[in-house]
């Protein structure tokens, strides 16, 4: 299994020198980029992506959809305790809805 580094929490690489050094130590680098997000990369980053296949853009939508049911189940299991301990307002149940598109 190939090791892939994760550039987080930013999308745009802020330092070309850092990116060059990273390419010496990691076989590949990934970053989280929502579908339709306008990415403007430096020349070095573009070359690493197109010529060396070094950069991987990961769309978070699939992962969000995969974890949503479990997250909502856990949240609903703990809402009564949290609400009773901290909030004087009425408890509201969370429910799963169709995810909205992140495209701009």
Query: pLDDT by residue (tens digit) across 4-49?
Result: 999 999 999 999 999 999 999 999 999 999 999 999 999 999 999 9
pLDDT attached to residue 90: 61
pLDDT at 95: 72
- Whether the model clears a pTM of 0.85, i.e. scores above it, the answer is no
Report d(CA 87, CA 50) in Å as an integer: 52
Q: How far is Cα 85 from Cα 55, in angstroms, rounded to an integer? A: 46
Strands 28-32 vs 4-7: parallel, antiparallel or unpaired: parallel
C-alpha distances in Å from residue 88, one per residue of 79, 84, 91, 94, 95: 13, 7, 9, 18, 21
* Residues linked to residue 56 through DSSP beta bridges, in sequence order: 30
- Tens digit of pLDDT for each residue in 58-74? 999 999 999 999 999 98
């Amino acid at each position: 299994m190939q090791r892939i580094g994760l550039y987080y929490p930013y999308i745009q690489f802020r330092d070309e020198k850092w990116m060059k050094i990273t390419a010496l130590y990691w076989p590949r680098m990934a970053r989280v980029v929502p579908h339709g997000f306008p990415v403007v990369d430096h020349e070095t980053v573009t070359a690493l992506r197109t010529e060396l296949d070094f950069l991987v853009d990961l769309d978070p939508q699939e992962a969000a959809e995969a974890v949503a049911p479990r997250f909502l189940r856990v949240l609903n299991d703990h809402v009564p305790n949290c609400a009773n301990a901290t909030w004087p307002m009425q408890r509201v149940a969370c429910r799963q809805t169709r995810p909205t598109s992140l495209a701009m």
